Amino acid sequence: MKTILLAAAAAVLLHITPTVVLVKRQDAVNRLLPGADNFAARELHLSSADSRRLHDAVGWEPPDGVVTFYVGKRQDQATGALIFMRVDCQHGPLELAIGFDPRGTVRGVEVTKATVEMKPWVLEALRAGLTDAYRGLAPDQTPAGAGKVKPRVGAMPGYMAELIDKGVMHAAAAYRLFYGRK
Amino acid sequence: MLYDLRHSDLRVRWLVTLLLATLGTSYLFGAWMVALYAGFSPRKVAETYGPSGEMRMAMQMPPDTTVVTERSVSMAEMGEETHHVDMNLLVQDTHVHMPMYAVIAAALSLVTLGLTLPRWGGLAIITLLFAAPWLDFAGMWLTKLVSPRFAIVTLAGGWAMALGYTIVAALATYQMWWRNR
């Protein structure tokens, strides 16, 4: 009985809290691809060699081998691209939307989803101006938002900022290496 | 019989009733969550747990060279997220949920031990209670690693879980409160 109770307590403690939407995907698209009136999904099914290349660059590859960019267009001219990126940690997943302008610099970053547990930490990091640090970032630059907000936030919001840095880095690497592929 | 729920103390019967009511409520919400995130048809389950969640591409192995496709999408399609459980999330889900399923199956098995049933009946129910989560997760992993056709195993696991709970809850409630003398 003691074992059962301990197992129950461990299961409860380890249980990941439900996901909450912080920004609706459609709102993120409106903010990150402003002015676009039509959209295309550009899906890249990566070869093993390209997956390895991405992994060598940033220590990450899409688990199912597919990277999807959403391209915003206005009168058939690309106004930018957006990618949704998931970052996992022991507290659950975060979902980010990372927007790029036509030159490939980061237009903005939105945190679209977090878990109930992570939400207050993420909001604290965002209130400290985390996403401002990504604006104008070139795809070959390393995101350093966490370093900027850490002196002003608690430990867990600082950790969330590190995870968001990581997601932006993965998205920027995918953009740099593959976005222009035909 | 290790103990007899029919003649057990009122406090034990009350405890078991509340346990069953609480588990039943959580199962109802579980079914609601499945409807929201995975669906009840083999196709929907295969899309959720299958490779890349996009069976139409039928690309289970990486291509020799990177393949780029582009198609028009509406704003609504971009906003619509197909919930997809990739390998990392499935590892996490299995790690987190299997212990909880084991505890639930054990709790319902303890209730089963107090029911007036032939030995084979008790064994069958206990087997069903533990087989359900195994089928559930085996189906998810087989759908991910072998073929989307195994989605049916996950569905079988889910229905087996519901069936096991219903049998135990119905028999326990009947024996505790209607056939207790």
CATH number of the domain that A82 lies in?
3.90.1010.10
Residues of A in contact with B87 (CB under 8 A): 63-64
Task: With residue B17 as reference, give the H or E element that holds it.
Answer: helix B10-37
| Sequence letter at residue A51 | S
CA distances from B150 to A32, A63, B10, B41, B60 (A): 39, 20, 45, 12, 15
Span A101-112, mean pLDDT? 95
- Residues A165 and A130: beta-carbon distance below 8 Å: no
ipTM over 0.85: no
- Rounded to an integer, what distance in angstroms lies between the CA atom of residue A75 and that of residue A60? 35
User: Which domain, by its residues, includes A146?
Assistant: 16-178
Cβ–Cβ contact B52 with A under 8 A: yes
Does the pLDDT value for residue A7 go beyond 80? Answer: no
pLDDT given for residue B77 in this prediction: 78
Nearest CB to A63 within list B64, B88, B95: B88
pLDDT given for residue A11 in this prediction: 47
Is A116 inside a domain boundary?
yes
- Residues B114 and B122: beta-carbon distance below 8 Å: no
Residues of B in contact with A44 (CB under 8 A): 66-68
Looking at residue B50, the DSSP 8-state letter turns out to be S
Is A4 inside a domain boundary?
no
- Residues A44 and A178: beta-carbon distance below 8 Å: yes
Nearest CB to A47 within list B65, B77, B84: B65
Q: Indicate the SS3 state at residue A4.
A: helix
- Residues A121 and A20: beta-carbon distance below 8 Å: no
Q: Which residues are bridge partners to A19 per DSSP?
A: A115
Those residues of chain B that have pLDDT short of 50 are: 53-59
Does the pLDDT value for residue A56 go beyond 50? Answer: yes
Nearest CB to B96 within list A14, A40, A42: A14
- Which range of A6-20, A120-134, B148-162 scores highest in mean pLDDT? It is A120-134
Is A10 inside a domain boundary?
no
- Residues B49 and A30: beta-carbon distance below 8 Å: no
Task: With residue B71 as reference, give the H or E element that holds it.
Answer: strand B67-73
Crossing angle (nearest 10°) for helices B42-49 and B119-145: 60
pLDDT given for residue B88 in this prediction: 79
- Rounded to an integer, what distance in angstroms lies between the CA atom of residue A18 and that of residue A40? 31
**Phi/psi at B70 (5° precision):** -135, 135
Distance from CA of A150 to the nearest CA of B (A): 28
Total domains present in chain A: 1
Q: Say what the pTM is.
A: 0.62
What integer best gives the mean pLDDT of chain A? Answer: 89
Is A125 inside a domain boundary?
yes
